[in-house]
Amino acid sequence: MDVCFKGVSYQYETNQAKSYKALQEISCSMPDGSFTAVIGKTGSGKSTLVQLLAGLLEPTTGSVLVKGHALHEDQSQLLRAQIGYVFQYPEHQLFAETVYEELAFGLKLAGEHKDHIDQRIEDIMKVVELESEILQRSPFHLSGGQMRRVAIAAILMMKPKLLLIDEPTAGLDPQLKEGMMKVFQRYKKQENATIWMVTHSMNDVALYSDHCIALEAGRLVHAGKTRDVLQSGHVPLPQTMAFAKALMKHQHRPPFLKNTEELVGWITSSWLKEKENEPNG
Ligand SMILES: Nc1ncnc2c1ncn2[C@@H]1O[C@H](COP(=O)(O)OP(=O)(O)OP(=O)(O)O)[C@@H](O)[C@H]1O
């Protein structure tokens, strides 16, 4: 689903006398089927941006368009039903007595037939790589990694065409992180979904995203293809080197680079840009 932010600002009302401008004049668009990483320092407005896209917050000014329709128009329920939002630490949202009930909840509410729900559960358990043996267990008696997968599976059950994920690998060890990112890749491929992911991990930006939005103190500093954003000089050299190392280690070619030659060229140009930006460079 293509997304367009048109002059969006958002102000938190902290109390009657004060307000805080979390986002200012954000305009950008991302195509259908893209995997967009939202990056920026802590407090730069990343979560606010995806909450606006989820329809949880309403812009103070401007509008958010999905497939050309404003999210806050009266008839936008159908559109919003196609958006899935994975909060930070989604396992904190678990509530049901069994994993089965947790997964079935949304479709039951929507009045779906049991056979259809069971088939969907079978499919989604494969996407998140969980064994069907756990379906009758309490989600609260699973490991941290399994709990997170169940919580994510519950959202994927609804087949969102636009999936918003806020720091999906926070608090997981490196092996679990990689597995979690594979879940999203698999889902994206299967459902041809569009993904927006808030992340602090430059590794994940390089490895998984094709588009990228960089925020700084509530303002958009860059939006476009990941390779262009990375080459814009907005990513400092240590981080560039960190993911170059990760790419070599995993022998993984990110979507924005065709071959090793390009990787070397990209590192060199980032390094030269860094030099140019130095006061005496
Ligand atoms: N409910 C709120 N009330 C008032 N201010 C808020 C509220 N939520 C966030 N803010 C402020 O808005 C700004 C943007 O917050 P946001 O959570 O979007 O940033 P972020 O880039 O996602 O940060 P982080 O990387 O730490 O999660 C911050 O300065 C934050 O303090």
Mean pLDDT of 16-30: 88
Q: What is the token pair recorded at 4?
A: 């367009």
Contact 208, 37 (CB under 8 A): yes
**Cα of 54 from ligand 1 centre, angstroms:** 16
CA dihedral 245, 250, 251, 257 (to 10 degrees): -70
> Which residue's CA is minimally distant from atom 5 of ligand 1?
12
- What local confidence, expressed as pLDDT, does residue 200 receive? 84
Reported as a single tens digit per residue, the pLDDT across 210-241 is 898 989 899 998 898 887 776 665 555 555 56
State the CB neighbour count (10 A cutoff) for residue 73. 11
- What local confidence, expressed as pLDDT, does residue 268 receive? 59
**Cα of 43 from ligand 1 centre, angstroms:** 5
C-alpha pair distances (Å), 96 with each of 91, 103, 126, 153, 171: 12, 9, 21, 14, 23
Contact 33, 51 (CB under 8 A): no
What pTM did the predictor assign?
Answer: 0.84
C-alpha pair distances (Å), 203 with each of 104, 121, 141, 185, 235: 34, 31, 31, 15, 12
Reported as a single tens digit per residue, the pLDDT across 29-74 is 999 999 999 988 889 999 999 999 999 999 999 999 999 999 887 6
Contact 202, 241 (CB under 8 A): no
- What local confidence, expressed as pLDDT, does residue 119 receive? 97
> Which residue's CA is minimally distant from atom 7 of ligand 1?
12
Strand partners, 76: none
Q: Is the pLDDT of residue 256 over 50?
A: yes
Q: Report which ligand 1 atom has the smallest distance to the Cα of 51.
A: 18
Q: Report which ligand 1 atom has the smallest distance to the Cα of 23.
A: 14
How many whole angstroms separate alpha carbon 137 and alpha carbon 168? 24
- What local confidence, expressed as pLDDT, does residue 257 receive? 59
Q: What is the DSSP letter of 268?
A: H
Least confident of 131-145, 169-183, 246-260: 246-260
The model's confidence at residue 281, banded by pLDDT at 50, 70 and 90, is very low
Least confident of 2-11, 45-54, 85-94, 118-127: 85-94
In a 13 Å sphere around the CA of 259, the CA atoms on its Cβ side amount to 1
Q: Is the pLDDT of residue 261 over 60?
A: no
